[in-house]
Amino acid sequence: MTTKTLQDLYIHSLSDIYSAEKQMTKSLPKMARASTNPGLRSAFEAHLEETQGQIGRIDQVVEAGGIKLKRIKCVAMEGLIEEGLEQIDEIEKGPVLDTALIAAAQKVEHYEIAAYGSLIALAKQLGETDAVKLLGDTLKEEKATDEKLSLLAEEKQAAEALGK
Amino acid sequence: MTTKTLQDLYIHSLSDIYSAEKQMTKSLPKMARASTNPGLRSAFEAHLEETQGQIGRIDQVVEAGGIKLKRIKCVAMEGLIEEGLEQIDEIEKGPVLDTALIAAAQKVEHYEIAAYGSLIALAKQLGETDAVKLLGDTLKEEKATDEKLSLLAEEKQAAEALGK
């Protein structure tokens, strides 16, 4: 029993999302390279840059709170990424793979939306106001990325319906 | 390359969420038993019943569409569940574990929200109007469960702040 208090759970959750974000920095370039749609490719590239900033925010939270992160691997993100990369192996480059990549990326974004939502609730309860602000900025970015991906899926559909 | 068309991707995605829901029916009872908060326990029990209905809707979609689901295991849900069950082993029963279980369940709900969202977009594109309706009903339930869990987290916090 290494997790006894809410503070322990907070550190565990921060360590988990840190691992998740680090894994994303490795898989986003692969997803960008596999995309045919230029808008999708640039969305992945932009999100990679954003992810680096989000890791920087976790570093700030850790430093300000005098926290030592645990070296754990986020197995949930591992599964999500595995699912996305499998699609790259199984589907030829083109509109179908692009649709699959958008779906895979939205699953990842929703994982992060849930993870940051819970982390912010914990930070509030622990009175970590700077962390609430920093993690809140990241949560806004994750939601915006999810919306951007939904729009890309709709635009793709409309273009394909017109036979473009 | 077994996935070539949007129809192939649709069947793959239906098979994936079918596996995810089936896995949930096995883990929800464990999460209910591990909960101390009676509201949380009954939320898990209610969601188990709802999940059975959601599997029934996938069966309807499959039958109406003359679809044969693939026997695949949703590795992303496997990772999400593993993460939740690990918490049960690592944290003593009580308010901290309840908080961890809420967070784990919200990650699962968000996975399903993203998965059904993408499935509905595919079903629309393929002109599967009955499927759009059925999967839309499930999506509403998943969103409602996520909101219920957010409320439970807030109520728990308020009660703990009052030293209850």
pLDDT tens digits for range A71-103: 999 999 999 999 999 999 999 999 999 999 999
d(CA B85, CA B130): 36
Locate A91 and state its tokens.
Answer: 């589907």
For residue A146, which residues of chain B lie inside 8 Å, CB to CB? 114
- pLDDT given for residue A155 in this prediction: 86
pLDDT, tens digit (0-9, with 9 covering 90-100), for B90-140: 999 999 999 999 999 999 999 999 999 999 999 999 999 999 999 999 999
Locate A65 and state its tokens.
Answer: 């709170």
What percent of chain A shows pLDDT beyond 90? 91
| Cβ pair B13:A150 closer than 8 A | no
> Rounded mean pLDDT of A144-159?
90
d(CA A123, CA A55): 17
Rg, Å, chain B Cα set: 17
In angstroms, the separation between the Cα of residue A52 and the nearest Cα of chain B is 22
**Greater confidence, B30 or A160?**
B30
Which is nearest to A148 in space by CA: A40, A21, A53? Answer: A40
- Give the chain A residue nearest B153 (alpha carbons): A121
Residues 6+ apart with CB under 8 A from B45: B28, B32
Whether residue B21 contacts residue A112, with contact meaning beta carbons closer than 8 Å, is answered with: no
Average pLDDT for chain A: 95
Nearest to A96 among B9, B109, B153 (CB): B9
> Which of A:35-74 have CB within 8 Å of B?
74
Nearest to B103 among A13, A78, A110 (CB): A13
User: Looking at the predicted structure, is the pLDDT value of residue A13 above 80?
Assistant: yes
Whether B123 and chain A come into contact, CB under 8 Å, resolves to: no
Q: What angle do CA A14, A110, A121 make, to 5 degrees?
A: 45
Whether residue B47 contacts residue B21, with contact meaning beta carbons closer than 8 Å, is answered with: no
For residue B106, which residues of chain A lie inside 8 Å, CB to CB? 114, 117-118
- pLDDT given for residue B164 in this prediction: 54
User: Looking at the predicted structure, is the pLDDT value of residue A106 above 60?
Assistant: yes
User: Looking at the predicted structure, is the pLDDT value of residue B34 above 90?
Assistant: yes
- pLDDT given for residue A161 in this prediction: 74
Sign of the torsion formed by the C-alpha atoms of A43, A49, A53 and A55:
positive
| Cβ pair B118:A109 closer than 8 A | no
For residue A87, which residues of chain B lie inside 8 Å, CB to CB? 3
Locate B125 and state its tokens.
Answer: 């594109």
User: Looking at the predicted structure, is the pLDDT value of residue A132 above 80?
Assistant: yes
| Cβ pair A96:B5 closer than 8 A | yes
d(CA B18, CA B23): 9
Nearest to B117 among A9, A80, A106 (CB): A106
d(CA A40, CA A136): 25
What percent of chain A shows pLDDT beyond 70? 98
- pLDDT given for residue B155 in this prediction: 86
What percent of chain B shows pLDDT beyond 70? 98
- pLDDT given for residue A164 in this prediction: 54
Nearest to A103 among B8, B83, B118 (CB): B118
Whether residue A35 contacts residue A44, with contact meaning beta carbons closer than 8 Å, is answered with: yes
Residue A125 corresponds to which amino acid?
Answer: Q
> Rounded mean pLDDT of A158-164?
73
Integer angstrom CA distances of residue B125 from A44, A163, B4, B18, B88 = 24, 13, 15, 20, 41
Average pLDDT for chain B: 95
